[in-house]
Structure 1
Amino acid sequence: MKITGLTILKVPPSWVWVRIDTDRGISGLGEPYLEDHPEVVIAEVKRLEPLLIGEDPTQVERLWRKMYESGNGYRGGPVKMSAISGIDMALWDITGKAYGVPVHKLLGGPYQDRIKVYRACHDEPPYTVEPGMPYRPGPLAALTGTGAGEGASAQERMARSAETLAEWGFKCLKLHFGPSDSLAVAADLEDIVACVESVRRTVGRSIDIAVDIHNTHMSRALSLVKRMEPSGLLFVEEPLPLERIDLLRRVTESTPIPIAAGERWMGKWAFREALEAGAARG
């Protein structure tokens, strides 16, 4: 079986998929997506395509290495790794279909048959992607134009959003905040904690709440996680800048709240660094 071509599929409003076709009629799908940077990842997928044409798609590890080592010594980086990631998914998809088994069988079998799903929650009305939306290479927030609730406080707007999502049936919510990375701004910490407390009062204790503070400063992260402990959070995500793996242990050891990190780490080596630094906690 040989790879015959790659096709980019642009999915509204701004998502990207790649389909890999073969001479056996088996195709695989993957998602080579980098948030808010779809077009540059598409360009990288197209750059990698000639390396794959005529190759056996079931030789997944060899092709991964071939793509990773291409580019005159420039390895890694978010654009290249996102492109490789989507292609890698599609190769595994083809391999599973070729052998007639789900991909999880090739990776050691299922660990569990159910998984908790959360819904992102912001201080704006929840939205859904409507049929017929055009594809655009911009962030979803800029496309939806949701500005309802103006005049209400951030706490009220976020609580209202959480209440709607709970009515939709979601049992876990992740609250998103973009706190400043400047030490000169402290007032927004009070607002963040107030929003979390407001949501907890609104949905009660039967719904899990996680919080994403999007890579803030160390002192701010330490302050936030400590002040949010009474709200009984499922986890706090991305407390530090993605480059500061070396400092993550100080956050994990400062709080009983589980800390989630690694969303923007590219490749296995960053995770090894985190393990070696003692940043991960079971």
Structure 2
Amino acid sequence: MTDPSPHAESLRGQIRITAIKALQPQQGATLIKVETDAGVYGIGPCHGSGPSVRAAIEGLEGPRLPHLGLIGKDPLAIDVHFHNLFYAYPQRGRVMGVLSAIDIALWDLAGKVLGQPVCRLLGGPFRDEIRLYSHCPGGDHLSQDEWKQRADQLQADPYGFSAYKVDIHHVLRAHMQEYVPSIGPREARDIAKAYELAREALGDDIDIIVHCHNELDLPSAIKTAKAVEPIQPLYLEDPLAPEFGDAWMALRRTTRIPLLTGENLALAEGALPFLQSQAVDSLQPDLIN
């Protein structure tokens, strides 16, 4: 596709959306593609499989509320489209991710039409660089040899990551978000040992994030926090169910570890009570939500 920026003036007010498609790569998130009659398109990532995302798109473009469909509309009316689709589906569930992906795709498309990076359309870049972390793979998290191998691999990584996210379900030998009974003394000992081995292998210059995937009840979250406190994690991430509640405040009072959440919150409204109550130290929103 040729760069549309020289034709931005002629496209404004005339370009129209012709199709919304769900593309399923072999790896990674499903991609939503918003196409136009000018040959310009936008891409937005989305959780969920291709068939489920296509079904959601068909619902959004279906006969229930045909006047809110995007086909034939101006792709630059981004806020209008998001407002209409958002309030058309009060029981949003997984549709929220599709709406977000369409919104991202429209912003991507707008940047191409206007010949500007999207960050500039949103007010300009705030930082020149951000810190990134690497994600620990599976395996035996109670094996000292495997932790040495992970540390060697991280040290050899050309990107120079200085933080490492380690998922608790690997320590518990469970699948992610599989039901796990409340953590007892044995599980707490395994958690303490696994993260102690991680600290020994990685050293003090690599920060460790303890990731819980919103899987724990309050007693288990408190036990987990106490088990990993000696290694001084950078964060305890998503220890409780994503929705704000009294449990978050109770956990806040029992641990000195910085708390992190956000990837499963929808919109700014989902994050607001965490900010108002200072229940967490940092937010890590997932733009797809």
Q: Same fold (TM over 0.5)?
A: yes
Gaps in structure 1 of 5+ consecutive residues: 125-148
- Taking the aligned partners of 1:188 and 1:227, their CA distance within structure 2 comes to 10
Who is 2:8 aligned against?
A: none
The aligned amino acid for 1:174 is: K
Q: 1:33 aligns with which of 47, 68, 72?
A: 47
**Larger displacement relative to structure 2 (14-23 or 266-275):** 266-275
- Superposed CA offset, 1:202-239 (max 9, x none): 01112121110222111221222233222121111001
Counterpart amino acid of residue 18 in structure 1: I
- 2:186 matched to 1:170? no
* Structure 1 position 17, deviation (Å): 0.3
- CA drift of 1:38 comes to 5.1
Deviation of the 1:163 alpha carbon: 3.4
Q: Is the radius of gyration larger for structure 1 or structure 2?
A: 2
TM-score (normalised: structure 1): 0.80
Match of 1:232 in 2: 232
**Matched residue of 1:269: which SS?**
helix
1:44 aligns with 56
Say whether 1:95 aligns with 2:101. Answer: no
Instruction: Give aligned pairs, total.
Output: 251
Greater displacement, 195-204 / 241-250: 241-250
Q: What are the within-5 Å matches in structure 2 for residues 146-165 of structure 1?
A: 153-154=142-143, 156-165=145-154
Provide the secondary structure at the position in 2 that maps to 1:21: strand
Q: Map 1:93-242 to 2 at 5 A.
A: 93-124=108-139, 153-154=142-143, 156-168=145-157, 169-178=160-169, 182-183=181-182, 185-215=184-214, 216-242=216-242
Contact 1:120–1:175, Cα closer than 8 Å, also in 2: yes
1:84, distance to aligned residue in structure 2 (A): 0.6
Structure 1 residue 258 corresponds to structure 2 residue 258: yes
1:14 Cα shift? 5.3
Query: Deviation at 1:242?
Result: 1.9
Partner of 2:245 in structure 1? 245
- Residues 108 and 253 (structure 1), Cα distance of their counterparts in 2 relative to 1, 3 Å cut: farther
- Counterpart CA distance in 1 for 2:142 and 2:276 is 43
Partners in 2 of 1:92 and 1:264 — Cα distance?
Answer: 22
Q: Measure, in 1, the Cα distance between the counterparts of 2:132 and 2:45.
A: 19
SS of match in other structure, 1:31: strand
Aligned to 1:146: none
Deviation track 1:35-63 (CA, whole Å, cap 9, x = no partner) reads xx553233212322461101111111110
Separation in 1 of the partners of 2:17 and 2:261?
35
Choose which of 50, 56, 81 in structure 1 pairs with 2:96. Answer: 81
Asked if 1:274 corresponds to 2:271, the answer is no
- Secondary structure in 2 matching 1:58: coil
SS of 1:69's equivalent in the other structure is helix
SS in 1 for 2:33: strand
After TM superposition, the structure 1 stretch with the greater mean CA deviation from structure 2, 176-185 or 81-90, is 176-185
| Distance in structure 1 (CA, Å) of the matches to 2:195 and 2:117 | 40
2:83 is matched with 65
Distance in 2 between residues matched to 1:99 and 1:91, nearest whole Å: 12
Maintained 8 Å contact 2:183/2:220: no
Q: What TM-score, normalized by structure 2, do the two folds share?
A: 0.78
Q: 1:88: how far off?
A: 0.7
SS in 1 for 2:60: helix
Q: Quick check: 7-16 or 18-27, which moved more?
A: 7-16
Does 225-234 or 105-114 show the bigger shift? 225-234
Identity %: 29
Contact kept, 8 Å, 1:81 with 1:267, in 2: the verdict is no
CA distance in 2 between counterparts of 1:105 and 1:194 reads: 47
Is the 2:23–2:50 contact (alpha carbons within 8 Å) kept by the matching residues of 1?
no
| Preserved CA contact (<8 Å) 1:27 1:94 | yes
Structure 2 runs not aligned, ≥5 long: 1-14, 63-68, 173-178, 283-289
Deviation at 1:243, TM superposition (A): 3.2
Contact 1:4 1:23 in 2 (8 A): yes
Contact 1:246 1:277 in 2 (8 A): no
- Counterpart code for 2:186: A
